[in-house]
Chain A
Amino acid sequence: MDTTVFLQLLLPGFTTGCIYALVALGFVLCANVSGVVNFAQGEFVMLGGMAAAWLIGLGVPFAVAILAATALGAVAGAAQEVLTLAPVRRQPHFIQITTTVGFAVVLRGVTLIVAGKDALSVPGFSGDGVFFLFGAILPVPSLWVWSATVLLLVGTFGFLRYTSTGRAVRACAINLQAARLMGVNAERLRVIVFAVSGATGALAGVVITPIVLASWDAGLSYSTKGFIGAIIGGFRSPSAAVGAGLFIGLLEALSAGYVSSGWKDFIVYGVLMAWLLLQGGVFLRGRVDATVGGP
């Protein structure tokens, strides 16, 4: 196998993998504080990319557009929790999940109306040049994606480890009921976590847009890929989710390179199905049914 070709496939896969990792992280954080898997997670990425591209297209300076798009993601996340999830908290679990699907569809629809059907592009924030790494040619905006991912991961893990709010999030992840009895304000925490994961997703969407076009219907793909990362990561550990998200990015890129770009989604979803069927069918053939996936 030619190493340069391999790296030329692998490194861009690492870049998309960064985005999936951030989406997977958002999934895990939201699920742990609210018990709900947020199918709108990938739509935040789409929203951030579209908002930034749209604003830059209007002539808004880069820095302002980036900040505004990130803020929009935070607002969308908080609004989702307050307006759509809080009212159905006492409903059966599947209704809460369906509500997040509905919200995802609304975000797609609003973006479609505001920004239109066409995919938007933006120039790289520090030029559209290329650079060489281990013989592979990469676009300069990749560096933005990598740095933003490192920044967001360090920020999130620092938040989880060193702030009292972050510790409360971790407590909720271990035992929601016990955390509430210890005085954790779960309602407030949910809003914070949804806002943070909205902002994280949106910023991820902003930095990836110079590499792949932003489009109103791109969110579903980010959701499913990030979700696969979160599932394979086990849905408990944020770091495992990040690792699995990166893995999905690499798998996708290698499938596209060595098989065909048309079949890459088939391979990624196929890996998920195989994983799930093995989990449900073989590994957990115990006396009690597998309980993957919450109540």
Chain B
Amino acid sequence: MLKKTFSTSDDITLKLKILAEEKESTRRKLVITAKRLAVIAREKEITRRKLAVTARELKRLHATLEKKVLERTRDLAQITSKNEAILASIGDGLVVVDKEGKISYINKSFEEMLGWKAHEIIGKSMVEVVPREDIYGTGVSFKERILTQVLAGQKFVADLTNPFYYIRKNKSRFPTSSIVAPVILNKKIVGAVEVFRDITKEKEIDKAKTEFVSLASHQLRTPLSTVNWYSEMLLTGDVGEVTPEQRKYLEEIYNGNQRMVDLVNTLLDVSRIEMGTFVVESKTTNIVKLAQSVIAEQNPQIVEKKIKLLTSFESNVPLIQSDPKLLRMIIQNLLSNAVKYTPEKGCVRISVSLDDKKSVLLKVADNGYGIPKNQQNKIFTKLFRADNVIGKDTEGTGLGLYIAKSIVEQAGGKLWFESVENKSTTFYATLPLRKTK
């Protein structure tokens, strides 16, 4: 019994001891956990503080950004309205079209010049809204419109040489000069921009100038006629004999005056071409006969310079519908140039052949002084004379080829040349059998 009691008391002690140890262990663990928690809490506090800083920073950045966006938007708006103001205020008419030729923008000058308001025509075809006519009042077709050509991929077309008219909303018209350029984005044509100007004033000035030349030329002819006829009377002996010495002087007066008459006539031709008053009287014309008569007329000069003249007139050349008076001027100009600008004993060839079924080809070739390469692009310019002939021949006016080209083109043909200085020059003129336009 005692033994048993003893043993029970030992058990309790042991158990208590174990219990105490377990508690101690738990307490220690708790302490460790508490420490860890304290560390975590510290870390969290740091993070919280950092987040607070970041949030403040973000808030500040946001505010700045918002301010910047606002400023930028204001700037952009300003730039846009400035650009719009610039476009709108351009003194020339401006139209932007998309790749289908539909109007996407017009400026104020466009509205003023053509009488259309933007809202009436945006999205409509420019070519249809604003018809275009040539100087004679013939409408320019859709295909021929520069705008159409530019949209189809033509690189750039400046339309300054051919005067044309734009038709306003109220059907009246005004002379215009325009430049059309494609709008290219990522190497593709996305539309075109056209800038045009009302050239009424320029045309008036030009006309006044030409009329002045015409009037002056008429006035000049009267005293020229007096000198002409008085010296003629002296030379023919109608008012008494003159000595051989006096005759020589009179002949110089007469010839000099004759040159002046020719010059005035040439100026008159130029003014007629430019005023569009050259009356064209087309009739059935034999160009070969005409060429032969011009050759006969210029034979004295050909013989004097001992020039060898070769002719080739094909037998199948048909009669053409043309103004013989004007056609004659073309042949005269080309042949007299060939003779004038070829040294003595040179060679001149003139030929007429059927070019194709629609036109006749006139060819005048020589082995004379030629046209210097760097001046070839100016040879048809009014009053231009190449450097290499200015010293050699004093009679040229620089108007012959200008006149010839105007007449050929007016007749619906083409005039061009090939030349190598000091070697040869060949002028070619094609003339339609009947005028197409």
| A and B held together in a complex | no
Seen from chain A, the residues whose Cβ lies within 8 Å of a Cβ on chain B are: none
Seen from chain B, the residues whose Cβ lies within 8 Å of a Cβ on chain A are: none
